[in-house]
Chains A and B, each alone.
Chain A
Amino acid sequence: MSLATDTLKVDRPPPPARGWSRQRILGHVLVGLWIALGIGMVVYLVAAWNPEFFQKYAPGYISGLGITLLLVAISIVLGAILSVPIAYARMSKNPILSGFAYAYVYFFRGTPLLAQTFLVYYGVGSFRPELEMVGLWGFFREAFNCAIFAFSLNTAAYQAEILRGAIESVPRGQWEGAASLGLHKLQTMWKIILPQALIVALRPYGNEIILMIKGSAIVAIITVYDLMGITRLTYARTFDFQSYIWAAIIYLIIVETLRHGVEWIERRITIHLHR
């Protein structure tokens, strides 16, 4: 008995002292480098501070930000609507239907968004007589509308894949269980499959929105004055490099806010899954 207590009394060895290992030195050097870069940027921005620049171009930046967000919001919503039939076709047993959906998704995921945007914006001119006949020429003459058209088609392909992946991630037993309760397919989908699938799909959807916000910068090349377009315009007029740095800061803030927002939502809606 006493032996047991004696052994219990033996002190644990003290934790090894945290010396300055190579890793720790490297880590501090790298963090120091980042801090130096950050301070350098702040110093640069303070040194380049120019009230005139702000008065003249800050409103442009805000309107550019608005256009970026509007563009992304419309494309994401239109893409979400369009992605439902594509995902349905992709999962159908009909080989022609699923083949078409596969080709659509493969094309839009396999080619650069910039090429797709050019294809719509410049290529649509090749069909001018036909479009004028249908009365759609006015729509496609605007660069902004072309961008929305291209982005919606593009994001529909990605969202269809997200939707399909999420629906297929729900085990088959859920379908069978619902069938045994006498629910028909639509009810099963709406009440049983989708709630479970959307939890899986939340993170990819969040990523898709972030990708879209970043991808939307390319509309600047086809003369839409979104955040990036305004930035290029400002740089072209002033040759002041801070115009790009401000844009980078704004984009970084949007993306980080969205990322943390999605993480927060995910934590909230998966509370019942954590034990």
Chain B
Amino acid sequence: MQSALTLLSWGPEGWLDDIAAGVFVTVCLALATLPFGLTLGFFVALAKQSEEPSLRLAGNIYTTIFRGIPELLTLFLIFFGIPLILQYIVRLVSPGTSADVNSFVAGMIALCFIFSSYSSEVFLSAFRAIPKGQYEGGYSVGLSSGQTMRLIVLPQLIRIALPGLANLWLILLKDTALVSAVGLNEILRQSGVAARVTKHAFLFYGFAGLIYLLLAIVSSFGINAIERAVGGSEVKR
């Protein structure tokens, strides 16, 4: 019977190094998803607030689908579905070869869809908080619509959307745990391996929970810093 301290130590005796590798994978996955999710979410929000009904419809279908299907199911759909499609395409070109998708990439794609469907709602409500006069002002000083968006609307939009996006980041961090189900060696899976080998399940899963908490605390410090940098609460509408 080893003590908890040895089990959680660094090196061949303990499991801390394995779990640290898992933390690295989790953080990488979340950070890799973030830019794609934000960009996609922004464009979906742009579509949903446009005056063109067909664009709005397309955006709404997107959010309805990815907010209505459980995250785990989205992940499985992508993890098992994309190879099928890829295989179909690859076989057209060269029969006999097989295609597969890495669990990190599948997780990234699935989380990107999920994150963007939620962030589009955050961006949408931020768009609605910006008065029409801002666009008209931009027009009256002769800016093109792209310039108005980039120079006038976007800086205000980010400020308004930041608290909502911060929340979504924490959700994203937690959702990465689901990717362990398709075999990505992130925190939860590494802890699970440790738990199975050592038979100290409560210790290791509890430790995994504490790591997620730690990640949340660290990110909330980061978020506060970003909020201060963009002058977060200065403009309250």
B81, B181, B202, B217 — most chain A CB neighbours (10 Å): B202
Check: B113 CB closer than 8 A to any chain A CB.
no
B57 to A27, Cβ gap below 8 A?
A: yes
From A26, A118, A255, give the contact of B205 (CB < 8 A).
Answer: A118
A27 to B213, Cβ gap below 8 A?
A: no
Instruction: Please indicate the chain B residues that have their CB under 8 angstroms from the CB of A124 in the complex.
Output: 202
Instruction: Please indicate the chain A residues that have their CB under 8 angstroms from the CB of B217 in the complex.
Output: 110
A26 to B50, CA, bound (A): 12
A27 to B208, Cβ gap below 8 A?
A: no
A26 to B192, CA, bound (A): 47
Check: A251 CB closer than 8 A to any chain B CB.
yes
* A–B pairs, 7, beta carbons within 8 Å: A27-B55, A31-B57, A33-B58, A107-B213, A214-B71, A216-B70, A218-B181
A107 to B175, CA, bound (A): 15
5 residue pairs, one from A and one from B, having the closest CB atoms: A27-B54, A123-B202, A27-B55, A30-B58, A112-B177
Question: Closest residue to B200 on the A side, CB-wise?
Answer: A126
Residues of chain A from 135 to 171 with CB closer than 8 A to chain B in the complex: none
Check: A266 CB closer than 8 A to any chain B CB.
no
Check: B170 CB closer than 8 A to any chain A CB.
yes
A231 to B76, CA, bound (A): 10
B84 to A114, Cβ gap below 8 A?
A: no
Instruction: Please indicate the chain B residues that have their CB under 8 angstroms from the CB of A119 in the complex.
Output: 202, 205-206, 209
A255 to B69, CA, bound (A): 8
Residues of chain B from 186 to 237 with CB closer than 8 A to chain A in the complex: 188, 192, 195, 200-203, 205-206, 208-209, 212-213, 216-217
B73 to A115, Cβ gap below 8 A?
A: no
Q: A27-B57, A115-B177 are in contact. Are A248 and B205 (CB under 8 A)?
A: no
From B73, B202, B203, give the contact of A251 (CB < 8 A).
Answer: B73
Question: Closest residue to A215 on the B side, CB-wise?
Answer: B70
B68 to A252, Cβ gap below 8 A?
A: yes
A250 to B: closest C-beta gap in Å: 10
B80 to A110, Cβ gap below 8 A?
A: no
B52 to A115, Cβ gap below 8 A?
A: no
A23 to B76, Cβ gap below 8 A?
A: no
B53 to A27, Cβ gap below 8 A?
A: yes
Counting contact residues on chain B (CB < 8 A from A), the size range is 35 or more
Check: A125 CB closer than 8 A to any chain B CB.
yes
Instruction: Please indicate the chain B residues that have their CB under 8 angstroms from the CB of A27 in the complex.
Output: 47, 50, 52-58
Give the number of residues in A that approach B within 8 Å (Cβ atoms).
48
A30 to B58, CA, bound (A): 6
Check: A235 CB closer than 8 A to any chain B CB.
yes
B68 to A247, Cβ gap below 8 A?
A: no
Instruction: Please indicate the chain A residues that have their CB under 8 angstroms from the CB of B140 in the complex.
Output: none
Check: A53 CB closer than 8 A to any chain B CB.
no
B15 to A: closest C-beta gap in Å: 15
A123 to B195, CA, bound (A): 9
B177 to A114, Cβ gap below 8 A?
A: yes
Instruction: Please indicate the chain A residues that have their CB under 8 angstroms from the CB of B76 in the complex.
Output: 232, 244
A194 to B91, CA, bound (A): 62
Q: A214-B71, A217-B70, A228-B73 are in contact. Are A241 and B80 (CB under 8 A)?
A: yes
Q: A112-B188, A251-B70 are in contact. Are A24 and B203 (CB under 8 A)?
A: no
B201 to A111, Cβ gap below 8 A?
A: no
B202 to A126, Cβ gap below 8 A?
A: yes
A182 to B205, CA, bound (A): 52
Instruction: Please indicate the chain B residues that have their CB under 8 angstroms from the CB of A28 in the complex.
Output: 54
A259 to B51, CA, bound (A): 25
Instruction: Please indicate the chain A residues that have their CB under 8 angstroms from the CB of B71 in the complex.
Output: 214, 217
From A116, A217, A256, give the contact of B72 (CB < 8 A).
Answer: A217
Check: A190 CB closer than 8 A to any chain B CB.
no
B174 to A111, Cβ gap below 8 A?
A: yes
Q: A127-B202, A247-B73 are in contact. Are A118 and B188 (CB under 8 A)?
A: yes
Instruction: Please indicate the chain A residues that have their CB under 8 angstroms from the CB of B170 in the complex.
Output: 110
B54 to A31, Cβ gap below 8 A?
A: yes
From B64, B67, B77, B174, give the contact of A112 (CB < 8 A).
Answer: B174
A34 to B68, Cβ gap below 8 A?
A: no
From A26, A123, A248, A255, give the contact of B67 (CB < 8 A).
Answer: A255
